[in-house]
Amino acid sequence: MSLPKVTILGAGHVGATTAHLLVLKGLADVVVIDVVEGLAAGKALDLLQAAAIEDLAVTVTGTTDLAAMTGSRLVVITAGLARTPGMSRDDLLAANANIVGPLADQITRLAPEAVVVVVTNPLDVMTHLVLQRTGFPRQRVMGMAGVLDAGRVRAFIAQRLSVAPASVQALILGSHGDLMVCLPDAITVQGASVSQRLSSQELDQLVARARDGGAEIVSLLKSSSAYYAPASGVVQMISAVLRGPRRVLPACVLLEGEYGLRDVCLGVPVELGPNGVERIIEQPLPPKAREALHQAAGQVRAQVKQLLSLRPSSS
């Protein structure tokens, strides 16, 4: 049985780990593309040999040639600069836009029917940029952030309470970064409200740690940022699109009136399936959470405006 083709743009830590997980799960034939000569080819060759050891009938190709993306069912954009200590996601804005924008143009040309998952930071703005440059419907362009942010919250709560992560459920909305919106009332542990197990102060501390989870990892690694958890988040989304069953997951998508917001890309719960975003799930929010979501939207709009102002000087 032929497998769908997934192209990963960027063979750095996130891209390579995403490719590895796709191969191990047998989800797709994988193409990895990177501008650095030999980087994608070397990692793809290693993965191809790993697939043989695992008895997996998948193909893995690595190249510098964007034409290898032709006809992809799904494209993942991980290409871009990673954060270093002291650097915010916003510091990456202009540099990564100059990488992601031209890649989006090539996706339009070579894989016009693809679903696109954006991982490059600043995530919300890059998702907006890809939507704008591809002209794809919003159902086929999404950013991976909420799965990662929720995973961090779940991991820290599970660690604190010595329970299995699968027993902890959490929902994260908003912008990937300082203005992520956590819904405490939606956090459960073994089916019961987290408030039965943790004080509001303890929960706030764990959520704050999750919010700064990327920076904490950057400070420890020194020369790179997180990649295992981001790759797992990407592959969970890809699995829902390529294999099913449909899943409700948080994703950064273009809002067109949902939650009282329009023309802005933010993280909200969506149902993912074969067409990408099958539907955006709008649920009632407490006033404080709604206000925080709108505040995050204001920040993303400001970043998009900043990007537009930078474009003439960066062309």
Report CA-CA distances (Å) from 91 to 96, 97, 147, 202.
9, 11, 23, 31
3-class DSSP state of 13: helix
Please give the structure tokens belonging to residue 227. 């990649």
Report CA-CA distances (Å) from 282 to 3, 187, 256, 286.
33, 17, 12, 13
Structure letter (DSSP) for residue 176: S
Please give the structure tokens belonging to residue 163. 């329970």
Q: Which of 13, 20, 176, 294 is the catalytic position? A: 176
Q: DSSP for 21-45, please give it.
A: HHHHTT--EEEEE-SSTTHHHHHHH
- In DSSP terms, which residues pair with 75 in a beta bridge? 7, 116
Could you confirm whether 176 is annotated as catalytic?
yes
Q: Distance between CA 55 and CA 157 in Å, rounded? A: 37
Burial of 246 (0-12, 13-18, 19+ CB in 10 A): middle
Burial of 113 (0-12, 13-18, 19+ CB in 10 A): exposed
Please give the structure tokens belonging to residue 244. 């099913």
- Which residues are part of the catalytic machinery? 176
